[in-house]
Structure 1
Amino acid sequence: MVETKAEKHERCGNTPPRVTDKARRGKLTVFLGAAAGVGMTVAMLEKARALQQANVDIVIGWIDPHGQPELQRLLAGMRKIPDRVREYKAASFAELDVDSIILRKPTVVVIDELARANAPGSRHTKRFQDVEDLLAAGINVFTTLDIRNIESLSETAARITGAGARETVPDYFVEQADTVTIVDVSPEELIRRYKEGRLWLPPGTVGKPDAFFRPETINALRGLLFRLAAERECPGLGKRLKECGSVSVPPAAGRVMVCVDATPFSVHLIRAGRRLASSLGTEWLAVHIDTVGSAIGSGGGQVAENMRLAEELGAKTLIITAKDVVGHLADTARSNNVAAVVVGRACRGPLRRFLSPGVADKLAGHSLAADIYVVRNPHEAGPAAPPVSLAPPAGPQSRLHYAGCAMMVAAITALGWLLRNHLELMNIVLLYQIPVVLSAFWWGRWPSYFTAVCSVLVFNFIFVPPVFAIRVYDRFVLSFITFVVVSYVVGRRTEVLRDEAAAARQRERSTRAMFDFSRAIAAVIDLDTIVSEFISQATDALRWRIAVFMPDEKGQLQKWDDRQAPAGCDKNEAAAAQWAYTHRQSAGKSTDTMPDADCLYLPLATVDATVGVLAVDIDGSTISPEQRRLLETWAGLASIALERVRLTERAREAALLLESERLRTALINSVSHELRTPLSLIIGSSSTLLETEATFSAGERRELLENIKHGANRMDRVVANLLDAARLESGLLQLKTDWCDIEDIIGAALRRFTDQIKDRPLTVAISPDTPLLRGDCVLLEQVMVNLIDNATKYSPPGSQLEITASVVKDKIAVTVADHGIGIPEPELVRIFDKFYRIQHREGNIGGTGLGLAICKSILEAHGGTIKAENRPGGGASFTFDIPINDNTSFFQSSERRELS
């Protein structure tokens, strides 16, 4: 048994970015064998039965016994999750029911044949992806795997057995297994089982069985198995062997670089580079130098498939557009600290190798501080690969291009015929270079080659004597050859330059769009604006239709704007979008998760959250690594922008909570102080009256009773202010409008301060033309009470109070003035804030700091205003005004008098 944690391999950079909670992630146990028939499924079921007898909640997820008695005996009595039957093209397929297992949530689930492919139309294309979902749901998994089904070892095993594995599992998935149990039997025992007919072999898995079940073949596979087990148990084995001088390997600190081209042979190089990097415990790169820009902006092709395989095996992929292949490979190796370069040996004869050295020889000439590993093409000695068609795809557009070429040749021919008496034949030949260059620039090299051939034939037929006949004379042979060669070079280089310019324009457009988007949203925190700007910029840059899905309050995705959505991204795509959002992984078209979807879905994920999903209606079924990186870059920009909005909202909520806490603290402090003083006065006076009632005179008892009344009135004002403040904050305060006389309001307010102002000079001046007004008389009286109370607090006893009311334009203005301490100039702007009180040098004056704030709110509800000013002679004045209704002019009071 070999046990290895996923964390052991994370430092190698070979684990893909699957985001799960490690604390609740399930444990993966792999029963690994060298070949089918060694007993992996039997060993797994025996372990499962032992756990079931120990009262562990374990179920069978998927096992097909194929009629084998031993497997049927072990399955008897085991709890099983029914298979899901999927219909596809009039055929039924039984497959693993992942959703039922997650809903059942057992402790352990048993799943056979990890490398098996799922039925068409399934959520995932491979079974190991279903297992990944179960692990992410916190369910432990037992599974089986053949050594030949590991991606990096499949090609080596195929050379040993003569048959390649139809399905493979990426290396990273096996490396992250928590437990690997090696199941092995001797070659003789395996051969005996085969001869007795006790093995079930899937068709095509072992090639010719008689050739497969031989001791040397089985021992070679066992060697792969034990080597893998040793590397998993001792990841630093290669480094220690190098230190001991046992083998020659490059330094483990450097990376491994694999040179990838547009041939199927690169698949072999990628697997070899993966094995080398794994043995060294280092990172590795897959680099492709694109000389014509063909891989950039292409949705398919061999390069895209090769780079996708490299990414699945844990490589960092780079596609570089350049003319000098070897020079840029050398520069990439130096800039990425590469210690080993893996290149392939092309299938060329000795003469070609002599005249044109291979990439390995050219790299050696660059004095790289890295070892160069040359991998032989396994098909060199085998049958020749089928020729690759170099002809461009035929279609309506290409036929129009060739028609245009013919028309240009015809036009040049007509021009040459008109000038035949004035130009030499060599000059007319040069005219035919014009359509060759133009066709290459406009439509590519193949139309250019077609134009060149047509030009030679037409020139020979029309202008070379004898005219109107195809004849080849010695003096024109060299000219024709030169013309064709020059046309080929010009057409080829023109197309290369055109493709490079198109690639540069695409990169420049994408870069400019990203810059414009970043600048446009730099100071924007509005979600609608950000998403709208993102959709506009990304659509223009990518030339694909996109949509953004955002979660609602329940975590369900909703399309942000149906008008901007791709045509295919309708409600049927909701499952793919929701899966990408929940699992923080891409899904849909060009992925292995729900590949039948119409769109590609990329999660807009940040470090600690997923803020949405980006839906892209891509062309074709696959996209290149360059395009995927571009999409991921846009998704990253959108994630950052949306996360900034989310964090801004959180900061705003935190500020509101902080402000509420501050107000709550101020309220408690103010109210506790304001209530304690009148309560102490009331309790003290009432206790004195009760305990010593007979000893006080009538005047003394009256004074004590007035103290109780004064304290009760003070408490009443505090409670009234608190209730008014609460109603104003909650929006529950509603005006009960009626006709109000400002003289009655001032008089009622003064009567509540009879004791406090009896020793003060008081002046009340109300203009005789002051009309009645529409308002809430009770609330306006509260305004006057608060202003008078404020004036008595902040002015010395015996000082004069002045109250005036007059009509100013279309408003009634009322002023309450005192001769007190006044208001410091810096505090005039804050005097109407809640819980704000002037800090006076003689000590704090009692109050909650709510009176003036309530006055302001009540007056604003009436459409009025209030302001505070310092008086030139000392003291402060508060003036408020209320608009006069147009139909109140005839309600003017007939008598106004000045009271002193």
Structure 2
Amino acid sequence: MTGRLRVFLGAAPGVGKTYAMLAEGRRLRGEGLDVVVGLAETYGRRGTEEQLGDLPVQPRRPVRYRDVELAELDLDGLLERRPELALVDELAHTNVPGSRNTKRWQDVRELLAAGIDVATTLNIQHLESLNDVVEQITGVAQRETVPDEVVRAADRIELVDLSPQALRTRMAQGRIYAPDRIDVALDHYFRAGNLGALRELALLWLADRVEEELADYRARHGIRAPWETKERIVVALDGAPQGEHLIRRGARIATRVHGDLIGVHVRPDDGTARAAPPGLAAQRELLRELRGTYVEVGGADVARALVDFARTESATQLLLGPTSRSRLRELVSGSVINRVIRLAGPIDVHVLPPPEPGLLAVPSGPRRRRPAAVPARRRRTAWLLGPAGTVALAWALSPLRDSLGLSGALLCLLLAVAGTARLGGLLPAAGSTAAGALAADFFFTTPWHSLAVERGADLAALVVFLAVAGIIAHLIDGLARRSQQADRARAEAAVLARLAGETVDSGAWTLPELVSELRQVFGQDGVAVLRDGEVRQPLASSGAAVPGPDEASYSVELGGGAVLVLRGRPLSGEDTRLLGPYVTQLRLAREREQLVAHASATDVLADADALHTALLEAVGHDLRAPLAAVRRSAAELSAGDGPAGAAADRIGAEAARMERLVANLLDLGRLRAGAAPVVLRPTPVGDVVRAAVAGLPEEPAVPPVRVGAVDGLPRALADPGLLERALADVLAAARAAEGPGPVTVDAGEVAGRIDVRVVGRVAAGGPGLAVAEGFVEAMNGELTVEESSGGGTSFVISLSRALGR
């Protein structure tokens, strides 16, 4: 039996989808349903974390990627656990490379196939059919999408709605993003207009879903009513890049009118074998994802073939993209779009404009003090047609020399020079100017058909022509430079808005994403982030060839042993300025990766420390009972006289010492785990020393500890209980050493600190001393070892001096 899918749909991040999903999970668990949280992203939001409450949570599965340990949904654990309902957040999430499935919606499909009900969350911008619309509204391209068929197959879809103003208020209050991202979010993705448009998209999409459910209900119950003819939308495809835009628009139309989507490609039927256009395969795959069908038909007349196919399929709407034919080809062969419109009859024909150009590929700005840059093809055409066309125009006007005169001819030639300047720039215009002056002299000045000038007025007219033509060409070139500067400024603004907008909407950029986009923006052959300048193992790269440190045309240090290298065309000053924000983002991404790695290492150490503490607790509890039994048995045996009694006393003393050691180890573990508080306060050292000496067990064969000058000192900043136990451990170790001599304790003020010195034959490195060192460090003190002048060992406990006396 297949599980049921429930989707909590929202118009934008922060509307409360995860909160609603968890609240529903808590309600169903209260009704006795076995509910497990497979994965929930709370992002530190207090209300969402409170809703998580006591719901059972399936631990995440650790996945190592690029030397960083990340956490993903434990699909196998959920399949083995088999809850009645699994809560899985963020359906559009892309799994870490190396996971069993690429997308989280594929994980959800496996859970449903296993008979497990799933509740999940999704934002409207992640639906595949709405991807281009959301990018047009917000200016942010969504990299993570879910096929519409996955969501439409859900048994229940609930809209989690919030008005744009309420959502912006939540954002301003810091309840969605961190404080440093709020202003950018409100100014870009979370603008009131954007949120209103996204909300309308969500409502319309859900309304279509409601209509589908109503139609299914009427069909199941045999309710008959007049229906309009089923709509069929045909999309004409030729493999051009705008084909994906056409398919998505057609899918939205088909969804709203409950129609069929058909993509058709007209294959030239001229008997020649031609390779399929390069973009056609991707468009076929997109059609399949959007539940459309793909058909190829042959025909010599593309327009006639399209219309005939649409009529055969009883299509009601035909979508065409912008023509890719040149104007010359349209003049020779005619316009396919115009012919389709004439032949379509009752079929609605939609001619869609090209989508907004991408925000990548920043054009180069004009070079300073040089002519404006012109495409090479236009420049070659201008050189070919400009001077020759000017001479041809002068020859064509020569029969009219009597009525036109030299001045009229020069005005006509000025028009040719202006056209050449507009087409090819300043240099071809200069060539046309020179050719025009020579042609005017040849055809319109006496003596005819020679380059000599007989009259001074004609010479003056030719000089004025040269000057005016030069000024006109220079002005046209200046306008072209201003246009290029404006295009460059618009492209830079669009790139910066994309860089900031995607950071707000989709979270922090990763190194591979930044490197890939940087290569496209600046038109480089290869871009890489290298570690320590080595090309063998780049941290991230994009392009056919990864540049090495010696092959880079531009490089910049990113810090942390990383360097950005670029190979390709040299960067201009404007490019270098635009590169600055990318370098900043790269540095932040590098720092984030390092922080994630350090956090993972810290988590591993914390887990290991917790495991050690737990093991120590278990061993300590297991040791206390047998040690107590040994001590009781030794006490019973010590009642007798002779060697047996002395041995029993020794056994009892060692058992007591072991009990103290176990207790100290347990307390030290609690201190390091933060379970036992350390209370530092002004402490009289003399009182603590006497208490520690008094607490030592009496041993007849061991001389007593001598207490020196410990009174009259400033108070130390310490925990009295920990200090007493640390001193007791050091003294016990000194008394237990082989061949013990007298043990002395004194104290004094040294360099503004209070030092307590224990002099004796202390065995350095013993377990008791390790515990004592841990106690001293917990009080921000230091336990050091010194060699005494008499051959013994001195242990010095150095503590901070408390303020006052």
Query: Normalised by the shorter chain, which TM-score bucket?
Result: 0.3 to 0.5
Between the two structures, name the one with larger relative contact order (CA 8 Å, sep ≥ 6).
1
Per the normalisation by structure 1, the TM-score is 0.36
